[in-house]
Amino acid sequence: MKPRLHFQESAISGWFPFSVARPEMIPQPKKLVLLFLVAILLLDSWSIVDSDLASDRIALQALRKAVGGRSLLWNVSTNPCSWVGVFCQRDRVVELRLPAMGLSGQLPVALGNLTQLQSLSLRFNALSGPVPADIANLASLRNLYLQGNLFSGEIPEFLFNLQNLVRIDLAHNNFSGEISPSFNKLTRLGTLHLENNQLTGSIPELNLPSLDQFNVSFNKLTGPIPQRLSGKPTAAFEGNSLCGKPLAPCNGTSNGNDKLSGGAIAGIVIGCVLGFLLIVMILIILYRRMRTKQGVAKDTQEPKQREVQIPREKAVADRGNGSPENSGTGDSESEIAKNEAKKGETKNLVFIGNTPRTFDLEDLLRASAEVLGKGTFGTTYKASLEMGVAVAVKRLKDVAVTEKEFREKIESIGKINHENLVPLRAYYYNKEEKLLVYDYMPMGSLSALLHGNRGAGRTPLNWDTRSGIALGAARGIAYLHSQGPAISHGNIKSSNILLTRSFEARVSDFGLAHLAGPTSTPNRVDGYRAPEVTDARKISQKADVYSFGILLLELLTGKAPTHSPLNDEGVDLPRWVQSVVREEWTSEVFDLELLRYQNIEEDMVQLLQLAINCTAQYPDTRPSMAEVRNQIEELCRSNSQDREDDKSSHSADSGAPPP
């Protein structure tokens, strides 16, 4: 019978003076010695492998103990290669990927024992302190992703000895100090992200031929941009005090050829002369017009502020005939409006319902006006009245309905009253001007708050605020839908979600979609419009649900669907989210600002799933707004209960009675 270890004999045949090609030729005592030696070799190799994996296990357990035992639900009695985020080759850990796991605290001096590690990803956690020095032992490391944490101190010098590094991402941390020229030692480096830190000094000359992706934006860097980096995009350098291509030139010098041709000089001279003549003509025309107008000077005393441009002569002539202060007739404003419509002119503001008549059209004419924004249906102003009250005035454009239809639709809009809807207080109509007067929302829009200043010093929107905004908007839209199956908003987007001082959501612009003409509507809801919508003036309630789903994705991802890089790649926001979720990297979709908070991952995933349901391709598969509202209410209610339980548990642990 042939020995079972026959395949190993050739490997050791050179150790003995006799051939081992055929086992039957080996004398029995020597055959036993041979088998004994083979067994020793196999056991020794197994022990080495087991020892290396045991060392990796110890390093991983030290990491788990230091930065998040509750988050890393590893079964320590099993093989480490089966643990979440751990990837092995030949019984050695080669990749450690733990993004957005809620890890906190400082990294232990243990990761250096993972000597075969090639990729380390700890991004989007709350890790702090310096990067431990034993990472210098990771000679095989190719990818280092530490972005989105709270790491501090200078960029460690030992990184520059890791010659195999291809990608380094240290963005969105608190690293300080200067960017070392020692980065030039990393000759294979293709990606270097250092944005949103506290780095100072100048950018060194980096001679890295493979460097494709580079970003140092929003630091405290100064000086000129090195010539080798001048071809990088502007966004890679913004938020610093840098100069030179691709930014503005340094010391007033040009980035390109400073010499101008004779033709260019002649063109500049001719352009200046023509511009001067044009300015003189405009001034003459304006002067003549000013002389023909009466009473205008009083309303132009504040040159830095803008006015709501309403035909002033008609308003002055009508003062006292239709205003509520002087009528004394007891007629409703709607009846006054009807009488005025018969005469073909509008006397004054028409107030809605029980709105206090504390101002009139003349007060709006005298008010200083500040432009708040130019939206789908026109320009909105903040009008600061002399009595100290501020209102929002929307000056409509492209109104495509008759005066009768306009008044009927506006009156019906004015009757819709809910705490999460911006109330319509009054309106004004004549052939030249159509104005709507709303309550002024001091905190502006969700769009401005979400996508405004993303640099240093920004106060991030936390999870409680975002989920509260989602709930308030859902309640407002659900109430709107409850008024009848044909009632819809028609233009749901983040710029139409306004906020009070306590960040409560108020939905604006509802009902206006039916007033606009077809030429003003085709592109107005790009990024929010449901795929089945062909006429933006005719939006169903299920199309509203789709738009609200996009709004939820915007809250969760921090990406604006109409201005994100995704559109440059031909991918809309819901398709991008679904593609990431399919790859089981769900945490990658969430806004970096949200990933700083702990114990909210499950809630975010629940809201993400709801958003995906809302943006389903077919309308019939989308939930109703009432169902959406109920799910968000349940989510927020469970959040509140969890916080109360945490407070009670903390009080019990400290020996105090629960609050």
**What DSSP line would sit under 419-455, residue for residue?**
TTBPPEEEEEE-SS-EEEEEE--TT-BHHHHHHS--S
Tell me the two tokens of residue 396.
């409509």
Domain presence at residue 508: yes
Give me the chain's average pLDDT, please: 77
Boundary-marking domain end, from 243, 258, 285:
243
pLDDT value at 299 more than 80: no
pLDDT-derived band of residue 27, with 50, 70 and 90 as boundaries?
low
Residue 352 has what pLDDT?
84
Name which of 591, 617, 626 is nearest 124 in CA terms: 591
Contact status, residue 390 vs residue 383, Cβ threshold 8 Å: yes
Q: Which amino acid is at 547?
A: S
pLDDT-derived band of residue 323, with 50, 70 and 90 as boundaries?
very low
Query: How far apart are alpha carbons 391 and 441 in whole angstroms?
Result: 8
Rounded to an integer, the average pLDDT of 196-201 is 94
Residue 263 has what pLDDT?
66
pLDDT value at 262 more than 80: no
Domain presence at residue 631: yes
Residue 656 DSSP symbol:
P
- Residues annotated in the binding site for ATP, as ranges? 394
Contact status, residue 581 vs residue 589, Cβ threshold 8 Å: yes
How many degrees, rounded to 5, is the angle at CA 269 between CA 268 and CA 275?
A: 85
pLDDT value at 441 more than 60: yes
Query: How far apart are alpha carbons 594 and 612 in whole angstroms?
Result: 19
pLDDT-derived band of residue 552, with 50, 70 and 90 as boundaries?
very high
pLDDT-derived band of residue 184, with 50, 70 and 90 as boundaries?
very high
| Secondary structure of residue 88 in the 3-state scheme | strand
Contact status, residue 111 vs residue 59, Cβ threshold 8 Å: yes
Tell me the two tokens of residue 172.
């969105």
Domain presence at residue 145: yes
Q: How does 12-50 read in b/e, with b if 16+ C-beta sit within 10 Å? A: eeeeeeeebeeeeebeeeebeebbeebeeeeeeeeeeee
Domain presence at residue 217: yes
Domain presence at residue 463: yes
Boundary-marking domain end, from 223, 243, 263:
243
Query: How far apart are alpha carbons 110 and 539 in whole angstroms?
Result: 58
- Residues annotated in the binding site, as ranges? 394
Rounded to an integer, the average pLDDT of 69-87 is 83
pLDDT value at 197 more than 90: yes
Boundary-marking domain end, from 195, 216, 243:
243
Domain presence at residue 62: yes
Query: How far apart are alpha carbons 647 and 307 in whole angstroms?
Result: 52
Residue 515 has what pLDDT?
77
Q: Which domain holds residue 491?
A: 442-643
Per DSSP, the residues of 231-253 read TS-GGGTTTSEEESTTSSPGGG-
Q: Which amino acid is at 371?
A: V
Rounded to an integer, the average pLDDT of 621-637 is 91
How much is the pTM? Answer: 0.50
Name which of 101, 171, 145 is nearest 598 in CA terms: 101
* DSSP-derived pairing of the beta strands 86-89 and 92-97: antiparallel
How many other C-beta atoms lie within 10 A of the C-beta of residue 237? 26
Query: How far apart are alpha carbons 240 and 456 in whole angstroms?
Result: 11
What residue spans of 293-368 are helical by DSSP H? 312-318, 324-327, 333-343, 361-366
pLDDT value at 655 more than 80: no
Query: How far apart are alpha carbons 393 and 379 in whole angstroms?
Result: 8
The string of pLDDT tens digits covering residues 226-257 is: 999 999 998 899 999 999 999 999 875 444 44
Residue 306 DSSP symbol:
B
Residue 281 has what pLDDT?
85
pLDDT-derived band of residue 296, with 50, 70 and 90 as boundaries?
very low
Residue 652 has what pLDDT?
45
The string of pLDDT tens digits covering residues 361-417 is: 888 877 887 888 777 778 888 888 877 788 888 888 777 778 888 888 888 888 888
Rounded to an integer, the average pLDDT of 14-43 is 50
More confident residue, 166 or 377: 166
Query: How far apart are alpha carbons 623 and 35 in whole angstroms?
Result: 71
pLDDT-derived band of residue 459, with 50, 70 and 90 as boundaries?
low
Rounded to an integer, the average pLDDT of 284-297 is 65
Tell me the C-alpha to C-alpha distance, in Å, between residue 607 and each of 61, 468, 562, 592, 628: 32, 12, 21, 16, 10
> Which helix (H) or strand (E) element contains residue 463?
helix 463-481
- Secondary structure of 267-282 in HEC code, one letter for each residue: HHHHHHHHHHHHHHHH
pLDDT-derived band of residue 313, with 50, 70 and 90 as boundaries?
very low
pLDDT value at 177 more than 80: yes
Contact status, residue 446 vs residue 503, Cβ threshold 8 Å: no
pLDDT-derived band of residue 344, with 50, 70 and 90 as boundaries?
very low
Domain presence at residue 268: no
Q: Which sign, positive or negative, has the C-alpha torsion 512, 514, 516, 518? A: positive
Which single residue is written with the structure tokens 């003003």?
Answer: 520
Rounded to an integer, the average pLDDT of 102-116 is 89
Contact status, residue 545 vs residue 623, Cβ threshold 8 Å: yes
Number of domains in the chain: 2
Rounded to an integer, the average pLDDT of 320-332 is 34
The string of pLDDT tens digits covering residues 30-65 is: 555 566 555 555 444 443 444 588 889 999 999 988
Query: How far apart are alpha carbons 305 and 627 in whole angstroms?
Result: 45
Domain presence at residue 552: yes
Q: What is the CATH number of the domain that holds 73?
A: 3.80.10.10
Residue 25 has what pLDDT?
52
